[in-house]
Structure 1
């Protein structure tokens, strides 16, 4: 299988990523720390030290006083008020050491064991090397990749892409402590993650979204997440809704195990065609939903999973893609299927293309490469890191050279829509969220992560 190559990151990127450990992986209870993710996107855009430092100052609110003063004189908000990182945390209790004997027993430990898991994976990466460590531990962790709104998966995959051991150990630890399966445990009805005989991913998504049960599943997940048992989890409204899909006997988990099976070729066959279709689904959903926040996480997390796949055996690769697809479907449902009619129309159009437009191995021209770089550069002043992150992923997929021109056209349309509100090339405002967000999302508009 041919995976896309890594960009030429700068020699000083790893020094910035090491600084990520100056802050905890979460803040304000359950929001995810994105500081390192955007350093990667900025570096890929050719950002200099000044720009990288600007992002640190912006994201950590070191410039709060200066920003407040500017707001009074200009009337413009210059610093996002949502982000305030926290210092690394110490365990509030004497927690057991994480070892190879008990590491699986302590999954989903409500974040309490994060520093111990990070220390454990620091040692394992040093002992085994990053690739062997991923091969050993990622397959079990991938079952819970939906945890923390997919941010643990994102943190790890983006670290693997740039070969940052510091960030990768954090990502593995975060996947362990935020571990959230979706109706795949032994207490659930029998499930099948993937099969060569399942409908194509696009056809499967069409069947899922047209299922008459979807509106009721959305409502049930929302109402159940507001009961006292779920509110006590204090994971945020999105994650609490997602967790309902792992509740045995509830219609959400039964639906996943009845309907959601990802078609993938059997062992020994190349995955590139299936991966292209999944990337097209992620890009179409982002575009069709007009940049709905959690749909965007589906796109950036798929990139993360693809970065890890080369380090896994064939079965683990297929399981990881199956877990991702299941998480995307659950996300779409609990968000009220935002813009999915438009998404399905985009997928139908892509699926209908024949001949040269669907021929694989499309290579970008020099003019197209320059356009992608300029588009990514135009996002680097954004106060919301999701803007450059999404454009960066779309750019990476466009550069894969194993996909079709039809796919590349779709990636470009999604990128244009991401920056369309700022035609001047300056993206000073936060991500232009969809007006078609689910009611559950609107109720918690900036409590998303």
Structure 2
């Protein structure tokens, strides 16, 4: 499969190159957004000085990459999934692999297994891999895949009961999920996802969804609707991860198992979010939304707006602009 490439932006490429100097995580389990946000800002049209200033400021919070380590000879590539300390050896593995095979071939080989743990690190392995693929930057793709592998989160497998899969509407299944009491315990999103996924009856309830070629779009629209209504931080990651999965699915000959795996993480994160409607915000024109995202100093605005704009281009409808309008904060009257 041909891998889409970004336009050659010297500032973006310099920061994607520089990203190899930094660890994939900082601050006790937070994911670095430097390469993802840099590409999102580029696609939104950020001028070079703004992109440079944003990256310089953001990089001050990051930690240096650990010393290089060689992949253990003879180990299967999936042998160390879910071990955060394995990031250096996964960097080595994927760097070597991508030097010998094309990005599409590597992704085709690893995505089915990686998707089984896609909710790790709040879906950031999936999201970063999609951005690295679109940037067509080999080392950034190696680092993104390494982050995904090291933060891979195994959820309990769904029950082997295909006859339960009778519901095509994810919203109907989400309403029936058995949940632990709110708020869900856990410092990080992935911690709370794991608690929900292990709750008695959750797997049986989630397995009622019949995954088909329309499921991902339904999940994406549902996340956009809920984010537009709530501005919930966990739901933001569902919105951006659904965009990321849409970007990567063309690599796979059979995409439905990947969507099935994503659905389990999505459902657990949706339930763990505790999102509640806060009231609509004024819907803004795209030009104002994009300008606000470029000007914002946080590490999620550009990704959110970029995902919403790309999803609108793919799927149509105005829910994406409603969700993205939350980036524009208007003073109260």
Please say whether Structure 1 and Structure 2 have the same fold, judged by a TM-score greater than 0.5. Answer: yes
- Measured in 2, the distance between the counterparts of 1:320 and 1:44 equals 26
The answer to whether the Cα contact below 8 Å between 2:6 and 2:134 also exists between their aligned partners in 1 is no
Q: TM-score, normalised by structure 2?
A: 0.87
CA distances 1:269-316 after superposition (whole Å, capped 9, x unpaired): xx3x44332221121121122x111110111111111111111121xx
Match for residue 414 of structure 1 among 315, 323, 327: 323
- CA 1:278–1:9: 2 relative to 1, 3 Å: farther
Match of 1:190 in 2: 160
Could you tell me the TM-score, scaled by structure 1's length? Answer: 0.66
Aligned match of 1:324 in 256, 262, 268?
262
Give 1:96 deviation, angstroms.
7.3
Residue 139 of structure 1 deviates from its aligned partner by: 0.8
Q: Which residue of 2 aligns with 1:358?
A: none
Question: Closer, same or farther in 2 for the Cα pair 1:312/1:100, shift >3 Å?
Answer: farther
Paired residues for 1:239-250 under 5 Å: 239-245=190-196, 247=198, 250=199
**Hey, what's the Cα distance between the residues in 2 that align with 1:160 and 1:422?**
38
- Runs of at least 4 residues off by over 4 Å: 5-8, 340-343
Moved more, 325-334 or 135-144: 325-334
Alpha carbons of structure 1 residues 237 and 40: separation in structure 2 relative to 1, 3 Å = closer
- 1:218 to 1:418, Cα distance in 2 relative to 1, 3 A: farther
Alignment check: 8 A CA contact 2:167 2:173 kept: no
| CA RMSD in angstroms, aligned pairs only | 2.9
- How far the C-alpha of 1:374 sits from its partner, in A, is 4.8
- In structure 1, the gaps of 5 or more residues are 62-83, 226-235, 266-270, 344-370, 424-449
Alignment of 1:432-447 (within 5 A): none
- 2:78 is matched with 104
Q: CA, structure 1 residues 125+422, in 2 after alignment: closer, same or farther (shift >3 Å)? A: farther
Partner of 2:218, secondary structure, is: helix
In terms of mean alpha carbon deviation, does 155-164 or 30-39 score higher? Answer: 155-164
Q: How big is each residue's C-alpha offset from its partner over 1:27-56, in whole Å with a ceiling of 9 and x where there is no partner?
A: 122111001111111111222321121112
User: Paired residue for 1:333, among 271, 274, 281?
Assistant: 271
CA change 1:246–1:413 in 2 (3 A) is closer
**Which residue of the other structure, out of 134, 148, 171, is the alignment partner of 2:107?**
134
Q: Give the Cα–Cα distance (whole angstroms) in 1 for the partners of residues 20 and 331 of structure 2.
A: 33
1:174 pairs with one of 147, 151, 163: 147
SS of structure 2 residue aligned to 1:50 = helix
Q: Separation in 2 of the partners of 1:87 and 1:102? A: 28
SS in 2 for 1:106: coil
